Amino acid sequence: MAVTGAVLQKQRLDQAAELVARAVAVGDVRAAVLDVRRGRQSFSRAFGEARGEDTVFIVASISKPMTAAGVMLLADRGKLALSDPVQKFIPEFSGGNRERVTVEHLLTHTSGLPDMLPENIELRKRHAALADFVEGTCKTPLLFPPGTKVSYQSMGILLAAEIAQRITKIPFRDFLRREIFLPLGMRATSLGLGGRRIEDTAQCQVENQDDWNWNSLYWREAGAPWGGAHSTAPDISKFLNSFLRPNGLVLKRETAARMVANHTEGLNEAWGLGWKLGLGAFGRACSPRTFGHYGATGTVAWADPETGTRCVLLTTWPAEQSTEKLLMPVSEVVAEAG
C-alpha cells in the first residue's frame, strides 16, 4: 500500500533541483523540467532554456508505456488478448518462429525482434514512413526464440501499435489522443508534433545536423510509437498516476495493475507491459514495486507505489551521457525525499 500520509522532504527536493541547476550552469544541459508529486504535494521547477514547467519535450521511449496502454485498452474491450499471436493481426509476419510471437512478447521485450532494424539509418535518411519500418520488421530475422529472454526491442512496440491501428482502422496517434491522453487530462501530449512548431518545443542536444535527427521535422512528425511522443512533465505525471492510483477512467483497474506487474519472472530482466521494473532500476532508494521508463533524449519518469511518489525529469541532454550523470542521481535524491 502507498504511504499516503508521508511528507516529501523539501530539503531533498531542493538538492535534486540543485543537481539539475548545476548541470545547466556547466553547460551539460540546455533545458530541463523536474516534476515531483505525492498526493496533493507537488514540486516543479524549470531550468535553462525551458520556458516553464509546461515546456514540451520529445520524450523518446517514455512513449512505449503509452503505446502499451493503448494496446491494453483494446484488450479491455475484447479486441485482442495478450496470448494472441501477432500473425493473427499481421498475416505477413510469418516464418522463422514468428508464429510463436504473441502480443505479450511485444510488450515485454521478449519477442526476439531487434531494438532497431539493420537498415534503420537508411530508412530514416530517406524519410521512410512507419509502414516501411513495419515491412522491415516483418522480414528481419528473430534474434532468439520468443519468450526465452528479455532483449529491449523498439520494433516489438512498433508492431504492437500496428496491431492496434489495424484493429481500430484509425491512425494510432489519433487513437491514443482520443482514448488515452484526453481522458487523462494530458492535453499537451501527442504522438508526433500534434500541430506544434518544432521551435515551440525543447531542442535535443544532438551533434549531427542531418534532416532525420531528433530535431528534424521528419522525425518529430513521424510519431514513432516507440519514441515519438511529445509531452510535458505534468502530463507524464498524470499518466504515471493512472497506474499508481487507477480509477478505471481509461483502463480497468485490474488492467492497470497488470501492466505494472512483473511478466518476465525467471528471465534476465524484470518488465511489466511497457513498463521497466526491478530493484535499483531508478535508484537504490526506490522500492521493488517501482515502475517507470527512461528515454534516449534524456528523460526519465517513475512512480513508487510504496511511497506514492511520482518523479518526472525531462532534459535535452541525451541519455547516453545523462543517465549516469544526472537522471539516476536526481532519481536517487527524489526517492530519498519519499
**In the predicted model, what is the mean pLDDT of residues 128-150?**
98
Average pLDDT, the chain: 96
Domains within the chain, CATH numbers bracketed: 10-337 (3.40.710.10)
Decide if 291 contacts 260 (C-beta within 8 A): yes
The pLDDT of residue 1 is above 90: no
How many Å separate Cα 259 from the centre of its chain?
13
| Confidence label for 321 from pLDDT (cuts 50, 70 and 90) | very high
Lowest mean pLDDT among 62-71, 185-194, 200-209, 324-333: 200-209
pLDDT at 7: 63
Query: 235: which residues sit within 8 A by CB, 6+ positions away?
Result: 181, 185, 186, 187, 188, 189
Decide if 137 contacts 90 (C-beta within 8 A): no
The pLDDT of residue 213 is above 70: yes
Q: What is the dihedral of CA 119, 125, 128, 130, to 10 degrees?
A: 70
Decide if 200 contacts 117 (C-beta within 8 A): no
**In the predicted model, what is the mean pLDDT of residues 166-181?**
98
Please write the tens of the pLDDT for every residue from 274-303.
999 989 999 899 999 999 999 999 999 999
Q: How far apart are the C-alpha atoms of 292 and 276, rounded to whole Å?
A: 5
The pLDDT of residue 2 is above 50: no
Decide if 152 contacts 113 (C-beta within 8 A): no
Q: How far apart are the C-alpha atoms of 191 and 198, rounded to whole Å?
A: 14
